Amino acid sequence: MTHVDQSSKKQTQTSQQKNSIGIFVDIQNVSSIKGKGNFLLEFAQSKGRIDCKNVYYNSHYINQVYTKNELEILGMKGVDVPDNSENSADYRLINDCINWVAFNPSANMIILILGDWDYAGLICILKALRKKVIIFAQRGSESSQLIKLVGNENFYFVDELPQLVGNSNKIQPQNTALMSQINYNEAIKYLTEAIKTASSQGKPTVFGRIDKLMRQRCANYQGYSSIYTDDGKKFKSFSQFIDVAVKDGKVRKQNQELFLTELDILAA
């Protein structure tokens, strides 16, 4: 690799690390985001640091609630807009997005999952503030005017997310590796949340299920090898990580199932 290529790659990585990203999802407009939240987060992480990830839904509609619950497991924040008046969710999303940008001057990239022309005003404001805007829409219900506002290079369909993430992983493996790291304390947090989730669903809290829930909850967690201790070491197995967590009194283990400690149960 030439010196110029290395310099270009370093500049790209530095630029991505500086990007402060906000994600705003309108479930009412883009129901097809269901099942693709993990791809959305991976896509965003390949662009920079995610500092806001809001999901707007109407709790009167059970399908929207199911999708919201799925995205919340991945760490996104559900915002309930139960008002059935026309464009109520649109107004709330627009207001929150503008406020977030106003109080976070370092924010320089907004990823919008929507497709309604009603958001044209928001996009114009963001572009006037020199924010990069990326849109993901639902195929068949997208607004051609929105495409013109952001340009074809910044407009995608939600069903393209798996392919986009796959291509990103192939092109930039170094970036993916850097993003897929969490420290021990973060891992304990997601371990506890995973146990709570499995228990609330009435399912056995066996290692495999807990590991899977942790992956869904935290995009940066890619198995035990992505957990780093304070001295920079990695765990050799998921069992080793659990043994340390048990020793530290974070969780209990019985017959290959995991349980919350009494302190965690009281906190819940």
Element (H, E) at 35: none
10-69 pLDDT, tens digit per residue, is: 444 444 457 899 999 999 889 889 999 999 999 999 999 999 999 999 998 898 999 999
**What is the Cα gyration radius of the chain?**
20
Cα 33 to Cα 25, 26, 213: the distances in Å are 9, 9, 19
pTM: 0.59
Q: Which of 117-121, 177-181, 206-210, 230-234 has the lowest mean pLDDT?
A: 177-181
Q: CA–CA separation, 185 vs 230, rounded Å?
A: 9
Q: Is 76 left (phi over 0), alpha (psi -120 to 50) or beta?
A: beta
How many helical (H) and strand (E) elements, i.e. helices and strands, does the chain have?
12, 10
Q: Is 20 left (phi over 0), alpha (psi -120 to 50) or beta?
A: beta
More confident residue, 62 or 229: 62
Domain chopping of the chain, boundaries: 14-171, 182-267
**Closest listed residue to residue 188, CA positions, set 233, 218, 208, 232:** 218
Q: Can you give 100-159 as a three-state secondary structure string? A: HHHHCCCEEEEEEECCCHHHHHHHHHHHHCCCEEEEEECCCCCCHHHHHHHCHHHEEEHH
150-206 pLDDT, tens digit per residue, is: 998 999 999 999 988 875 554 443 343 334 578 888 889 999 999 998 899 888 998
Top-level CATH class of 182-267? Answer: mainly alpha
Q: How confident is the model at residue 268 (pLDDT cuts 50, 70, 90)?
A: very low
| Beta strand 227-228 pairing with 49-57 | unpaired
Residue 253 dihedral angles phi and psi, to the nearest 5°: -125, 135
Q: CA–CA separation, 14 vs 8, rounded Å?
A: 10
Most confident segment among 1-5, 116-120, 122-126, 160-164: 122-126
Top-level CATH class of 14-171? Answer: alpha beta
Q: CA–CA separation, 200 vs 196, rounded Å?
A: 6
